[in-house]
Amino acid sequence: MRPADPDASAHATVSDGPAPQLAAYDILLVNISAGKDSQASLDVVVAQARAAAVLDRVVTVHADLGDAEWDGVPDLAAEHAAHYGLRFELTSRTADDGHTETILARVAARGMWPDAARRWCTSDHKRGPIRTVMTKLVAELRDSGRVSGRPVRVLNIMGLRAEESRARARRVAYAHNPSASNGRRHVDDWYPIHQFTVTDVWDRIAIAGTRPHPAYAAGMSRLSCRFCVLASRADLVCSARLNPKLADQYAAVEAATGHRFRADLSMADIIAEARGAQHPQLSLLELADIA
């Protein structure tokens, strides 16, 4: 039951219970990264949307991070959406003059890297541009006359898993998002694979039949930014082996700013460890050809 207090109701999810009723939403917005978790999450959403006869309400969105991303990520994200015949929106952070603003350029300008406490890379380069897409989709629905007299109901869907970190384990899998909501839209967040293990994820991908990014076969455990400040040391070293030119660019910015890539780990140390590794690595191009 919904609370009688209208202020309390404003902070409630559209549907009751631990998971959403998809038919109660006007837009099912699936954030996709081309990574394994978003692949599994998208397949779960599509199956449930088909069962609820609302597959036409599913829209996918990818925030393009420019040179921070692995090669081929935007195209692979579009491929994953096309596998199900879904609408695909590509967005990015743009500067006032219209050019795409990269994370590395902002680090050089700010003189500091993002960190766990100041994740402006996520807020400014992912969440902000995706909310711009939300605004566009909501306007389309309202202008079409399909929704009137109430806020458009948006279910914002992400492939976050509890197993990834303590912070993500503490998240509620289905909750209202007041910061993304306003007078024109009511936004709830949903993590459909929150309780999935890594094995569950790969099993779901095998069933779905979508193509994983070759970075996984090259040794990466996650497909975030090529050099994410929150990545494991092993992933950072692996990425430096696979992306030596970009690693050198990051090291140059680190040296110029005088600010370490991470408090406990410099980019110079990552590169030194990567180049001191003895075992050979196939290139991403070679792995893609094999796949």
pLDDT digit string (tens) for 149-201?
A: 999 999 999 999 999 988 889 999 999 999 999 999 999 999 999 999 999 99
Per-residue b or e along 51-67, where b marks 16 or more CB atoms closer than 10 Å to that residue's CB: ebebbebbbbbbbbbbe
| pLDDT, position 10 | 58
* Residues of each domain in the chain carrying CATH 3.40.50: 6-190
For 6-190, CATH gives 3.40.50
What are 233-264's pLDDT values in tens digits? 999 999 999 999 999 999 999 999 999 999 89
Lookup: tokens for 41: 């999450």
Percent of the chain whose predicted confidence (pLDDT) is above 70: 91
Q: Is the pLDDT confidence value at 279 over 60?
A: no
Mean pLDDT of 16-20: 96
What pTM did the predictor assign? Answer: 0.89
CA distances from 143 to 129, 135, 147, 236 (A): 21, 12, 8, 46
Q: What is the identity of the amino acid at 114?
A: P
Q: Is the pLDDT confidence value at 288 over 80?
A: no
pLDDT-based confidence at 232, cuts 50/70/90? very high
| pLDDT, position 175 | 98
Task: Reduce the DSSP state of residue 81 to 3 states and report it.
Answer: helix
- Distance in angstroms (rounded) separating the CA atoms of residues 53 and 126: 29
- pLDDT, the chain, mean: 90
| pLDDT, position 87 | 99
| pLDDT, position 31 | 98
pLDDT-based confidence at 8, cuts 50/70/90? very low
pLDDT-based confidence at 277, cuts 50/70/90? low
| pLDDT, position 102 | 84
Q: Is the pLDDT confidence value at 286 over 50?
A: no
Orientation angle between helical segments 36-51 and 73-83, nearest 10 degrees: 20
Lookup: tokens for 43: 């397949």
| pLDDT, position 109 | 83
